[in-house]
Amino acid sequence: MTTTRPPEDPGGRWTDRLLAEGSDPDPRFSLANERTFLAWIRTALALIAGGIGLALAGDLVQPALRNGLAVGFAATGALVAAFAFRRWLRTERALRRAETLPPPALAPIMAYGLATAAIVLLVALLATR
């Protein structure tokens, strides 16, 4: 592992500030962190696509519930994308500082939120049949 030199302007780009901290971790850990980030981004895209699909579902679900769920899925996708970067950055900092990795705070929220949304959608579908 090598220690990087601090940038000339510590208030510069976020990448310069990140690289100025600690030392370079094993590349395998940084690449694994990047793969996790990309998995969260794929999840965000799937949520946004699910919102679009619900919005276009026609008479499958009542309009008010359909629109509410569509907005909820799309907004959740946007939040997941934002939190994915935050998690990547916090994990990369911890790796560079040789600190304990931050817990995945978004995972239980996503799991319980998606389970709740799926149950609401299932009840709505069964109620209309």
Token pair recorded at residue 84: 């994915």
Q: 106-128 vs 27-55: helix axis angle to the nearest 10? A: 20
% of the chain beyond a pLDDT of 70:
90
pTM: 0.75
Residue-level pLDDT at 94? 95
What is the Cα–Cα distance from 47 to 123, expressed in whole angstroms? 20
Give me the mean pLDDT over the 33-39 stretch.
Answer: 95
Per the prediction, the chain carries an average pLDDT of 86
Mean pLDDT of 98-126: 86
Binned at pLDDT 50, 70 and 90, residue 7 comes out as very low
Residue 90 has pLDDT above 50, yes or no: yes
The residue with greater pLDDT, 121 or 44, is: 44
Residue partners of 25: CB distance under 8 A and separation at least 6? 1, 95, 96, 98
How far does CA 129 lie from the centroid of its chain?
35
